[in-house]
Structure 1
Amino acid sequence: MENNIEKNVADNIKALRLQAGLKQSELGEKIAYSDKTVSKWENGLSVPDITALCALADVFGLTVDDLTKENAVENLARISGDEARANRANEIAMMCLSVMSVVLVACFVYTALWLFQNVNFWQVFVWMVCPSALIAYRFNRVNYNVKWVNALTLSLFLWALLAALFLQFINYMMWPLFFIGLPLQAMIIISTLFRKPKKPRR
Structure 2
Amino acid sequence: MTAVPYRRRRRTPIVAVVAVLAVIAAVTWTVVLVGASGPSGPQSCPTPAAGTAPGATLESGALDAVVPAPPAAIPVRVFNAGGQRGQANLVAAQLDDLGFGSAGPPDNDPFFPDGDMECVGQVRFGPAGESAASTLSLVLPCAELVRDERADDTVDVAVGTGFGDVNPPRPVRDVLETLGAPSPADDGEAGAPAAVDPAALTEARDTTPC
**Based on CA coordinates, which of the two structures has the bigger radius of gyration?**
1
TM-score, normalization: structure 2? Answer: 0.27
TM-score, normalization: structure 1? Answer: 0.28
Q: Whose helix fraction is larger, Structure 1's or Structure 2's?
A: 1
Higher RCO (CA < 8 A, seq sep 6+): 2
